[in-house]
Amino acid sequence: MINKKFLLLCILIFYPLKSMALIEVDITRGNLNPLPIAVSSISSSEADKVKLKKELKIDDIGLEISRVVENNLKTSGLFNPLDKEAFLQKPDIAHLKPRFEDWALIKAQALITGKINLKDGKLRVEFRLWDVLAGKEILALAFTTVPKNWRRIGHIITDKVYERLTGEKGYFDTRIIYVAEEGPKIQRIKKLAIMDQDGFNTKYLTLGNELVLTPRFNPTNQMVTYLSYFKNLPRVYLLDIETGIQEVVGDFPGMTFAPRFSPDGKKIIMSFAMDGKSDIYTMDLENRIVERITNHPSIDTSPSYSPDGKYIAFNSDRSGYQQIYVMKSDGSNVKRISFGNGLYGTPVWSPRGDLIAFTKLHKGKFYIGVMRTDGKGERLLTENYYQEAPSWSPNGRVLIFYRETKTDSKGEGFSAKLWSIDLTGYNERLVNTETDASDPSWSSLLSN
Amino acid sequence: MNLGKIYKNIFLVMFLGFVLSACATQTTTKIDSQIQGDVYTGTDTVEYLADGVPDRVFFATNESVLTTASRETLRKQAAWLRKNSEINVVLEGHADERGTREYNLALGERRANAAKDYLMTYGISSSRISVISYGKERPVDSGSNPLAWSKNRRSVTVKAN
């Protein structure tokens, strides 16, 4: 009786809404039926094509931009980009007015079209998103940039499409900073590297002369904090990616490590180890004032602020073993939140504020998981021989982390790679990197 | 004399290993003879600061407690340092690969400091000892097995000058 009434109410509420927005993508569950989408090549005039080919050494930049979009959409796990071979309509005509029957015939539910104009050496790309079943345009935007930034156009288009269809911000116009690794396991050479979220445009930021670890993005700008063994003194450093200027910020009389920015980007929170104990400190980047946050004979490390800056999650072995704790940002009200079997490390607060991602070690296996900020609702997303250090996509839907392989009986076959997985536990993917890689950190959206 | 003692120790360890292997399964025989209570007792990777003065001590998983054997090694190091007062040392603390990177950095620091504290109680001035942690970044054995991990959980005393 009640159920029937409830159902009726649901139908009354949701039915009209549903008919207004024909296509929508639910990102809160593992998506086993990704939305079929057609990404038409971005069209351009022959004259522009020739000019762009001269500048970029790429035959058809419009086609390549559409491939960036397709790859992003596919990687998200929420969309199924259809094979261009099956498209019946030419890109330039489709962009003016799609023949929706043709696109419906190949089972496309959404269609992306676009057009390139080259003017005064600048690349102007306009694109449209069409709802095939409703037979109408649902989004139209244009962007202008220098031609060599063409991949970013593809990422921005994907972000706009993702946002329009899922109702949440995208994460495609972003970069990953990580540690590039080479050489045998007992003598690894490590360099800071940065790349676009899809693995392109890799740049190496250090030469590999000294060990570098755990780079993390400032959520508000292009600064990075990391640990460097420069002159064999492990200290926290700050690096401006734009200018390449590096400076030591954690020059304490001992090792400083595990740095991360505060959400407003104005402070660095880190561990300082001396005399066998590690405690958590902050440093204000403007006035360089240092504050001690924890004071305990145990190891306190891997601090991570909540997005509102009011709390800090951290790793401590004060109970005897590695567990996750939360405290107020002044160090008061310390509460242990991890109580499951095993050891817990690397807490990272979600940018949405509701979850903490972590690494768990239990019975010889490593897990990446999430729990609510009170420690309840633990969910393990992936299990492996070795994996750790999750970092959130800026919209809090995807985690990137690194995984190392077991060596064989001769101690060979070691590798370290970046992987990503959706918060749902689905869509686990290897992230392309030029070299072996570890310690990934995801940037904020570069544009909005 | 000292060398003779080491050989005697090795023989004892091997002998114990054989005794233990009688009740252990075949696959663990080799490991048992070189690990006791999760701590490496072999000499595979050990180098010597001087005749009969081993350069490193080993730890149990997640631990920084010095074993009886470690304390003996450190007493030898302290005696050698007392004799060679012009020598300064760096204690390099390490962890195995079965832990998160940041925690391992702290753990390596804690292990090296455990060794430093012991050297200090045997009269070595803290000004002669510096400490550095490499966490899990500098393993000596690239294996992914308990024996390799036990060799990597270590504090190594290195001459600084």
Question: For the segment B3-53, what is each residue's pLDDT rounded down to a tens digit?
Answer: 455 555 555 444 444 444 444 444 444 556 798 989 999 999 999 999 999
Is residue A233 assigned to a domain? Answer: yes
Tell me the pLDDT tens digit for each residue of A204-256.
999 999 999 999 999 998 899 999 999 999 999 999 999 999 999 988 899 99
Count up the domains in chain A and report the number: 2
Eight-class DSSP state of B105: H
User: What is the distance between the alpha carbons of residues A329 and B126, in angstroms, rounded to a whole number?
Assistant: 35
Are A320 and A379 contained in the same domain? yes
Q: Which CATH number goes with the domain that contains A47?
A: 3.40.50.10070
Chain A within 8 Å of B126 (Cβ-Cβ)? no
Are A122 and A183 contained in the same domain? no
Average pLDDT, chain B: 87
Tokens of B136: 């899990």
Q: Which string of b and e fits A287-321 if b means at least 16 CB within 10 Å?
A: eeeeeebbeeebbbbbbbbbbeeebbbbbbbbeee
pLDDT of residue A239: 96
Are A311 and A364 contained in the same domain? yes
State whether B106 and A257 contact (CB < 8 Å): yes
Q: Which CATH number goes with the domain that contains A279?
A: 2.120.10.30
Separation of CA B130 from chain center? 17
CA dihedral A68, A63, A104, A100 (to 10 degrees): 120
CA angle B123, B126, B129 (to 5 degrees): 105
Chain B within 8 Å of A367 (Cβ-Cβ)? no
Domain boundary among A132, A148, A166: A166
Are A252 and A306 contained in the same domain? yes
pLDDT of residue A25: 76
Which is more confident, B49 or A29?
Answer: B49
State the nearest Cα–Cα gap between A279 and chain B, in angstroms. 10
CB A116 within 8 A of CB A43: yes
Query: How confident is the model over A130-158, as a mean pLDDT?
Result: 96
Could you give the count of Cα atoms lying within 13 Å of A272 in the half-sphere of its Cβ? 18
pLDDT of residue B23: 42
Are A222 and A359 contained in the same domain? yes
Separation of CA A396 from chain center? 8
Eight-class DSSP state of B77: H
Are A107 and A182 contained in the same domain? no
Are A156 and A30 contained in the same domain? yes
CB A250 within 8 A of CB A285: no
Q: Give the three-class secondary structure for B94.
A: strand
| B14 CB neighbour count, 10 Å cutoff | 13
Chain B within 8 Å of A344 (Cβ-Cβ)? no
User: What is the distance between the alpha carbons of residues A206 and B134, in angstroms, rounded to a whole number?
Assistant: 19
From start to end of A40-101, where are the E strands?
79-81
Domain boundary among A123, A146, A166: A166
Separation of CA B46 from chain center? 8
CB A159 within 8 A of CB A170: yes
Choose the closest CB to A359 out of B100, B141, B142: B100
Residue B100 has pLDDT above 70, yes or no: yes
Strands A386-392 and A379-384: unpaired
CB A65 within 8 A of CB A153: yes
User: What is the distance between the alpha carbons of residues B89 and A72, in angstroms, rounded to a whole number?
Assistant: 53
State the best of B61, B92, B105 to mutate against chain A, taking most chain A CBs within 10 Å.
B105
User: What is the distance between the alpha carbons of residues A58 and A63, in angstroms, rounded to a whole number?
Assistant: 10
Are A161 and A184 contained in the same domain? no
pLDDT of residue A438: 98
Residues 6 or more apart from A297 whose CB is under 8 A from it? A277
User: What is the distance between the alpha carbons of residues A47 and A28, in angstroms, rounded to a whole number?
Assistant: 45
Is residue A5 assigned to a domain? Answer: no
State the best of B102, B113, B137 to mutate against chain A, taking most chain A CBs within 10 Å.
B102
Range of the domain at A417: 175-442
The backbone torsions φ and ψ at residue A268, rounded to the nearest 5 degrees and listed phi first, read -115, 130
Residue A9 has pLDDT above 70, yes or no: no
Which of B145, B136, B104 is closest to A181 using CA atoms? B136
Is residue A4 assigned to a domain? Answer: no
Tell me the pLDDT tens digit for each residue of B62-74.
999 999 999 999 9
User: Over pLDDT 90: what percentage of chain A?
Assistant: 90
CB A161 within 8 A of CB A129: yes
Are A303 and A382 contained in the same domain? yes
Chain A within 8 Å of B115 (Cβ-Cβ)? no
Strands A416-422 and A429-431: antiparallel
pLDDT of residue B22: 42
Tell me the pLDDT tens digit for each residue of A182-191.
999 999 999 9
Sign of the Cα torsion A297, A302, A306, A308 reads: positive
Query: How confident is the model over A349-367, as a mean pLDDT?
Result: 97
Tokens of A271: 């561990």
CA angle B99, A431, A181 (to 5 degrees): 55
Q: Which helix (H) or strand (E) holds A226?
A: strand A223-228
Q: Which string of b and e fits A24-50 if b means at least 16 CB within 10 Å?
A: ebebeeebeebbbbbbbbbbbeeebbe
State whether A407 and B142 contact (CB < 8 Å): yes
Are A192 and A315 contained in the same domain? yes
Is residue A1 assigned to a domain? Answer: no
Tell me the pLDDT tens digit for each residue of A167-182.
999 999 999 999 999 9
Instruction: Sort out which chain A residues have CB atoms less than 8 A from B140's CB and list them.
Output: 186
pLDDT of residue A383: 97
Residue A128 has pLDDT above 60, yes or no: yes
Are A180 and A160 contained in the same domain? no
Are A201 and A158 contained in the same domain? no
User: What is the distance between the alpha carbons of residues A380 and A359, in angstroms, rounded to a whole number?
Assistant: 9
Query: How confident is the model over A42-71, as a mean pLDDT?
Result: 95
Is residue A6 assigned to a domain? Answer: no
User: What is the distance between the alpha carbons of residues A325 and A344, in angstroms, rounded to a whole number?
Assistant: 10
pLDDT of residue A33: 86
Is residue A3 assigned to a domain? Answer: no
Domain boundary among A131, A166, A201: A166
Instruction: Tell me the pLDDT band of A22, cut-offs 50, 70 and 90.
Output: low
